Chain A
Amino acid sequence: MTVRFQLTAALKERAGTGNLEVDVKPGGGDQQEVPLLDALKALDGCMKGRGSPVVKDGMVKKEILVFIKKPEGGQERISDPCSRKLKAGESVLVSSAMDGG
């Protein structure tokens, strides 16, 4: 399944682009969904530079924000990618943290 990623801030800086499409093998069962963790690991594989910017020890790193954007609208913040599967049509926004300034 092709997963669309939108990257901002330091993630975009690392990837060299704000938009990435990554092919992710479905985990088995429903071919129209993939484990989010697998998608994020695949994203890490596309990043320039050393190390994995997004995933560490099976969890999203604390400085990284992951949102799932639904085709019908709405954004869902995800802290634990292990429990979530991406459905066809959903895309993922990944950013480094931001606060007021």
Chain B
Amino acid sequence: MCKRMCHQGDIQGGEQMTSSMYDRMLRINCETKESSLYPLPEDTRMYIGGMGYGTKILVDEVEPETDPLSPSNKIVLTVGPLTGTSAPMHPQSCIVTKSPLTGTILNCYAGGFLGAEIKFCGIDGIILEECSKEWSIVLIENDKVTFHDASPVVGKSTGETENYMKHLFGGSVRTLSIGGAGERLVSMASIFSETRTFGRGGAGAVLGSKKIKGIAFRGSLPVDVAHRELFQQLAARNMDVIKKACEEEFNLVGMFSRVGTGSGVGLINSRGALATKNHTYGSFEEGTKIDGYAYADRFYTRPIACYGCPVHCGMLHKYKTKDGRDSWLRGPEYETMFSLGSDVMNNDPVVLAEANQLCEDFGMDTLTTGVTIAWALEMAETGVLSEPGLPLQFGHSDSILGLLAKIGKREGIGNFLAMGPKKAAEAIGKGGQGRVMQVKNSGFAAWMPRRMKGTALAFATSNRGACHKRAPIGAEITGQVDMDTIEGKAGMVKGIQDMVNAIFTLVSCRFHEFVTDHETYPRYVYAATGRDLDLESFKATGERIWNLERIFNTAAGFRRSDDCLPEKCYEPIKGENSEQAVMGREQFETMLDEYYALRGWSEDGVPELPVLKRLGIAGYGRLLP
């Protein structure tokens, strides 16, 4: 697994690493094709790595009013102090950029093997600047960067692009790529990295705007840590805990290990929180036909793992397509079982598999794309939308697959849906704006805010729009806290947002926290980098990053009025299971007021000087109105 863990004196030039971070990034100008090593200053390194580095660099180097698809936007791709080491469940890398979908700062993540390979190049990441004049593929071998003609794969899928890069450069490279959606600047375009995806927020369109079709990495440098014995003890103990959890029949991680993230559909459905028919109902009668167990029962399934992960929650399924061909599919994940399953009333696992594959081929986020389609189908049902030659009906396979293809190609109705759900709704008017389930143009994840009040607040206040990774979904869905009440939710949401941001500096898989106590994280940071933080300081790093993001978004024009829920959230959910759950307007505003007060922000959601001073970022107040 960790064949590049180094031995004494192995380091390039014989120099002993004192940290698992190289403290330098490759700055790559896509226009001039020049690159240089950028040594990271201490005021960036104090952000630990991963999301911390990315956010700091983007806020420092990109004007908040920048057009996300202009040469002035940057893509900052980073890794963290545990990437490429023996710490289990830390395969991920992080992209930070300005989102063309939301107009906010964006952070998104992908697992697989890319992160480790970036670290093996002897860098903590890359900063992509400007735009290439012609479609290019970039090869990065340690600190050497070369550009290559991408014309053979322009218009091709992400999978075909990946195969092309491996054919061109050798099978040992690790890659990322965009599909046709990224080339055509679809707002929901994702960047795919082999078995995983930088899914949310349209990073694929940003890469497309730079005319970069793919990037391949090959590294040959070792990774060391500051305190080897301590690190090995922490990693070994962590691995034991995770492996034990995987062996337990009823442990969440154990379920993921056996059938993937789709194992949870049943519980959420029973709790009346599985959004169905564009968030009209809270449960889907036929949910059992498309959950993880259904796929495991019906199709030959084998698990796939990310670097250094014993959970292997990714599932490959072999199935027959509707026209009778044998095909393999990775996924769908739980979130896709909602967005292209229950939310569009699709009960057919083969159609769901094909929809998932279309998103992979075109390179699109299944979440926001599915939510946009669900809205379009509701609009068709009420007579507002139609498309010549294409039925637009919930549960109709041609509708779902046809709309996906049109969005990926930006054809017909797809061209306007490609703007994202809120912008499409605003363009059409006719009362559709209140029916589209999004925050800041980013589609809701698979949890019903009306049913889960803390999750509602998390979605609304998310810096990147409707983010489920920083929401109290576990506590609410398991009944540890009452999902229907608002008491204590503001504090809970703030705490989770800050902690998850801190964890994403490492860059942990989100599931790692399910099996790891929080005190382990600063111990890992010390063992890996020598940077000595207690838990409170570690969390404060997360809070600092959250406020930097908020400053950027405020300067880009976002205010309290954008931390809102669509009108449909103020209507009762239909169906018995959800008990007609509804968000009250006063309830929501009360939670939001409490949240802003806890954050130290004004009533309009603008960070104020005292909190910026406490966090050591008062200088960024210059960006605020």
Does chain A bind chain B?
A: yes
Chain A residues in the interface with B (C-beta under 8 A): 6, 8-14, 18, 53, 61, 63-65, 67, 73-77, 93, 95-101
Given the complex, which residues of A lie within 8 Å of B254, measured CB to CB? 10
Q: Secondary structure of the A side of the interface?
A: mixed
Within 8 A of A (CB), among B244-293: 248-252, 254-256, 261, 263-264, 266-271, 288, 293
B520 proximal to A (CB < 8 A): no
Given the complex, which residues of B lie within 8 Å of A8, measured CB to CB? 266-267, 269-270
CA distance A22 to B417 in the complex (A): 50
CA distance A74 to B580 in the complex (A): 10
Q: Is the CB of B478 within 8 A of A65?
A: yes
B255's closest neighbor in chain A, by CB?
A10
Closest chain-B Cβ to A37's Cβ sits at a distance in Å of: 18
B288's closest neighbor in chain A, by CB?
A18
Closest chain-A Cβ to B257's Cβ sits at a distance in Å of: 11
Closest 7 CB pairs of A and B: A77-B479, A8-B266, A99-B474, A98-B264, A96-B250, A63-B250, A101-B261
Chain B residues in the interface with A (C-beta under 8 A): 248-252, 254-256, 261, 263-264, 266-271, 288, 293, 333-335, 447, 468-469, 471, 473-474, 477-480, 510-511, 514, 576, 579
Q: Is the CB of B333 within 8 A of A98?
A: no
Given the complex, which residues of A lie within 8 Å of B333, measured CB to CB? 101
Q: Secondary structure of the B side of the interface?
A: helix
Q: Is the CB of B269 within 8 A of A9?
A: no
Closest chain-A Cβ to B280's Cβ sits at a distance in Å of: 18
Q: Is the CB of A13 within 8 A of B293?
A: yes
CA distance A65 to B268 in the complex (A): 12
Q: Is the CB of B579 within 8 A of A101?
A: no
Given the complex, which residues of A lie within 8 Å of B469, measured CB to CB? 100
Q: Is the CB of B270 within 8 A of A96?
A: no
Q: Is the CB of B474 within 8 A of A100?
A: yes
Q: Is the CB of B468 within 8 A of A98?
A: no
Pick the residue among A9, A53, A67, A73 that contacts B479 (CB under 8 A).
A67
Given the complex, which residues of B lie within 8 Å of A73, measured CB to CB? 576, 579
Q: Is the CB of B271 within 8 A of A97?
A: no
Q: Is the CB of A18 within 8 A of B266?
A: yes
Given the complex, which residues of B lie within 8 Å of A101, measured CB to CB? 256, 261, 264, 333-335, 510-511
CA distance A95 to B514 in the complex (A): 17
Q: Is the CB of A97 within 8 A of B252?
A: yes
Q: Is the CB of B293 within 8 A of A12?
A: yes
Closest chain-B Cβ to A45's Cβ sits at a distance in Å of: 17
> Contacts A8-B270, A18-B266, A73-B579 hold; do A98 and B477 have CB atoms under 8 A apart?
yes
Q: Is the CB of B248 within 8 A of A63?
A: yes
CA distance A64 to B269 in the complex (A): 17
Given the complex, which residues of A lie within 8 Å of B250, measured CB to CB? 10-11, 53, 61, 63-64, 96-97
CA distance A38 to B468 in the complex (A): 38
Given the complex, which residues of A lie within 8 Å of B270, measured CB to CB? 6, 8, 67, 93, 95
A77's closest neighbor in chain B, by CB?
B479
14 A-B contacts, Cβ less than 8 Å apart? A9-B255, A10-B249, A11-B250, A61-B250, A63-B248, A65-B479, A67-B271, A67-B479, A73-B576, A96-B255, A98-B263, A99-B264, A99-B478, A99-B514
Given A6-B270, A8-B269, A101-B334, 13 more A-B residue pairs with CB atoms under 8 Å apart are A13-B293, A18-B288, A53-B249, A67-B270, A67-B479, A76-B479, A95-B267, A97-B250, A97-B478, A98-B264, A98-B478, A100-B473, A101-B264
Closest chain-A Cβ to B594's Cβ sits at a distance in Å of: 22
CA distance A100 to B458 in the complex (A): 13
